[in-house]
Amino acid sequence: MSKVLVIAFAEQDGSLGKAALEALAAAKQLGGEFCAGVIGEKIDAAADMLAGAGAAKVFGVAGSDFAQPRYASDAAAAEAIAKAAGAEIIVAAGTSRWSRVAAGVAHRLGGQIDTHVTGLAVENDAPVVTRWYYRQRMMAQMTRAARPWVISVDPGSFAAWQGAPGSASIEAVDVTLGDAAKRTQVTGVRTPSSGQQTIRPEADVLFVAGAGWTKKQPDGQFHVAEAEKLILDFVDNAKASLGSSKSLVDQKGEGQAVLTCLSHLNQVGQTGSTPRHPKGLATCCHGEEPHVVGWRFITERRAINLDANCGWAQGKADVLYVADSFAVMEKVNALLAE
């Protein structure tokens, strides 16, 4: 097997995040020896974890210049580590931080890259990756002969490595940043306003609200305020992620009564996100492509729709409840609150 390098960014406290531990597990799946590299302001705890997982060597780039997720500094650090390690296969977690630089790093190394990898195997002593094309519409298994080869694994696709930290002797890689690399400054993080629920990767359940919530109901009336309350109560009670169909978030532009708790960040599907959760409950949405493309990685899927012929009935959900979501969710909320 080629020389494998796992690259990780340390969290603010110097540890390794869940996604990095997943990437670590993925790299270990390749078998054989591997090295690791870690980048961040403080990296000791992360390096110990990597050593504990069996990294033959741990390269590190540390310091305040590397605290911020910023292209110029992150790319320079990762490039330097990969070169120092002589890496041929580079595995990293496809976090927003790594995704920003991964392809640039591959380019600097004269290598090739695959992202959003959801499965890894070894055949003929080379990695075979599973990844999706056309927005999760088709799945490919592929390999490459060229090295270095950068493989970004999708968070949530591999079970995180679990084990005790070891004690690393970090091989510090020297990266000095010129002024040109500091033209960008990260000034902070903006969290959605309170009350706004989002897609949270760690939740067990994804709740997807469809356009039906804001449509005229069988009594001929709109019940938007009620819908908003039912949805938010559920999300609170079940500690669920809140997703929505495109139709529902698009209505903002159409001057209709809308659910204020939703924005484009909630949208799942073709032009939205494809979250990963063990369970998903779709309500008042039709369940047709490309909408269900966003459900590709939801393991158990249930839906509530008034219409028995709804798209979810066509082999896309495990259970379709033909019922009024308003009535059902009110009762579900009561039961969950107990």
Q: Which residues bind ligand FAD (CB under 6 A)?
A: 210-212, 215, 217, 245-248, 267, 269-272, 284-286, 290-291, 294, 304-307, 310, 324-326
Count Cβ atoms within 10 A of the Cβ of residue 103 and give its class: 0-12 exposed, 13-18 middle, 19 or more buried.
middle
Judged by beta carbon distances under 5 to 8 A according to partner kind, the member of other proteins, ligand FAD, none in contact with residue 296 is: other proteins
Judged by beta carbon distances under 5 to 8 A according to partner kind, the member of ligand FAD, other proteins, none in contact with residue 325 is: ligand FAD
Backbone dihedral region for residue 135 (phi beyond 0: left; psi -120 to 50: alpha; all else: beta): left
Q: Does the protein bind other proteins through residue 299 (CB under 8 A)?
A: no
Q: Does the protein bind other proteins through residue 176 (CB under 8 A)?
A: no
Count Cβ atoms within 10 A of the Cβ of residue 329 and give its class: 0-12 exposed, 13-18 middle, 19 or more buried.
buried
**What are the residues whose beta carbons fall under 8 Å from the beta carbon of 160, sequence distance 6 or more?**
18, 21, 22, 24, 25
Which of 50, 305 has the CB closer to other proteins? 305
Which of 29, 247 has the CB closer to other proteins? 247
Which of 118, 217 has the CB closer to ligand FAD? 217
The answer to whether the bond into 218 is cis (omega within 30° of 0) is: no
Judged by beta carbon distances under 5 to 8 A according to partner kind, the member of other proteins, ligand FAD, none in contact with residue 23 is: none
Query: What is the closest distance, in whole angstroms, from the C-beta atom of residue 115 to ligand FAD in the complex?
Result: 19
CA distances to 45, 98, 188, 195 from 12, rounded to whole Å, are 11, 15, 13, 26
Using an 8 Å Cβ cutoff, are 23 and 36 in contact?
A: no
Among residues 1, 54, 88, 103, the one that binds other proteins under rule CB under 8 A: 103
Which of 88, 321 has the CB closer to ligand FAD? 321
Query: What is the closest distance, in whole angstroms, from the C-beta atom of residue 284 to ligand FAD in the complex?
Result: 4
Q: Does the protein bind other proteins through residue 141 (CB under 8 A)?
A: yes
Query: What is the closest distance, in whole angstroms, from the C-beta atom of residue 166 to ligand FAD in the complex?
Result: 44
Q: Does the protein bind other proteins through residue 313 (CB under 8 A)?
A: yes
Backbone angles phi, psi at 226, to 5 degrees: -60, -40
CA–CA distance, 312 with 121 (Å, rounded to integer): 33
Q: Does the protein bind other proteins through residue 257 (CB under 8 A)?
A: no
CA distances to 197, 223, 270, 280 from 290, rounded to whole Å, are 23, 27, 5, 16
